[in-house]
Structure 1
Amino acid sequence: MSDIILRAVRPEDLEQVAKIEAACFPVNEAASPESFQERIRAFPDSFIVAETDGKLIGFINGCATNSPVIYDELFHSARHHLATGANLTVFGLAVLPEYRKRGIAAQLMNHFIQLAKASGRKSLILTCKNRLVHYYETFGYINNGLSGSTHGGAQWFDMTLTL
């Protein structure tokens, strides 16, 4: 495998991004291609892809908001993106299964943290399942307990990384 390149998403990445999402998330939690198209248009600067040998293998994305937590409507419409928002959300951190355990997700997260700092955000916020709480804590996120989100019918935990 060649070097991993991290870069901002481009409109022509839509199909590959949708395939990664489908491979990484259950159907009831996965964003649709239409949702990704809207996100790519609305906040390409906070939609980062990982690529190797010309193939997309992962991504991280999220909108900006003044909300201290992710609420379900944020997932469903990019119209909630507030370019000057104090907080940057993490909607999804996904790496194709065959490329996992190589530090690619960590590269994406660390890049996203630096992007949030450089853009003057106060914090990064995300929701995750219980099994991933410890993973995000390794980046400095704090577990704020059960989330009000019912996205995909799952139980989520609110996590915050203060910058």
Structure 2
Amino acid sequence: MEVTYRGANGRDATALFALEEASYPSDEAATLAGIVKRIDEAGDFFLVAEVDGEIAGFVNGTLTTSSELTHDTMSTHEPTGSLLCVHSVVVAPELRRKGLALSMLGRYLDGLKGSGPGARVREIRLLCKEVLRPLYEKAGFELVGPSKVVHGKDQWLEMKMMCSNQT
């Protein structure tokens, strides 16, 4: 499976939304408007994976100036922030359990190194279900504990990773 990576653009929104809907329960999935907003406001933190020219997955996040994840910090993008809130790590159903999520995360994290918008990121946090905890630990994240953020009916775990970016 040959994977290519690129940034997201507005033309991708419908396909990205379809993947989001296929990956999360309806009370947890981002809306189409939410995906468009993330592309428009935080496009530097939106990575698309393609397999055979088709969108196969994506990772996206936003920045916050806060030091913790809350419903508010996950609802806005603050370009001067240094905490990156990862919102979605999504893989097409037929490509799951083939290493694509880990590959996307690796590419996404590599994109934060060096100069550019990712250089200001000092820490990355995300919310996940217990079943995905091993994936994120394999990618280098560590458990913070149960999240205070309520999103849908299930309990979320908060994971974090420190970055070595220097200003």
TM-score, reference length from structure 1: 0.91
- Per the alignment, residue 37 of structure 1 pairs with 36
- Per the alignment, residue 159 of structure 2 pairs with 159
Q: Distance in 2 between matches of 1:74 and 1:4?
A: 31
Q: Say yes or no: does 1:106 pair with 2:102.
A: yes
> Hey, which of these two has a bigger chunk of helix by percent?
1
Q: Distance in 1 between matches of 2:131 and 2:92?
A: 18
TM-score, reference length from structure 2: 0.89
- Per the alignment, residue 11 of structure 1 pairs with 10
Q: Distance in 2 between matches of 1:132 and 1:101?
A: 11
Aligned residues between the structures:
159
Q: What is the CA distance between 1:23 and its match in structure 2?
A: 0.7
Deviations 1:104-141 (A, max 9, x none): 11111011111223322111110111122222111221
C-alpha RMSD over aligned residues: 1.4
Q: Distance in 1 between matches of 2:31 and 2:87?
A: 13
Q: Is the 8 A contact 1:116 1:124 kept in 2?
A: no
Q: Say yes or no: does 1:97 pair with 2:93.
A: yes
Q: Is the 8 A contact 1:116 1:123 kept in 2?
A: no
Deviations 1:10-35 (A, max 9, x none): 11001100100011111110001011
Aligned-pair identity in percent equals: 32
Q: Is the 8 A contact 2:102 2:135 kept in 1?
A: no
Q: Distance in 1 between matches of 2:125 and 2:26?
A: 23
Q: Is the 8 A contact 1:124 1:162 kept in 2?
A: yes
Amino acid at match of 2:53: G
In structure 1, runs of 5+ residues without a counterpart are none
Q: Say yes or no: does 1:145 pair with 2:145.
A: yes
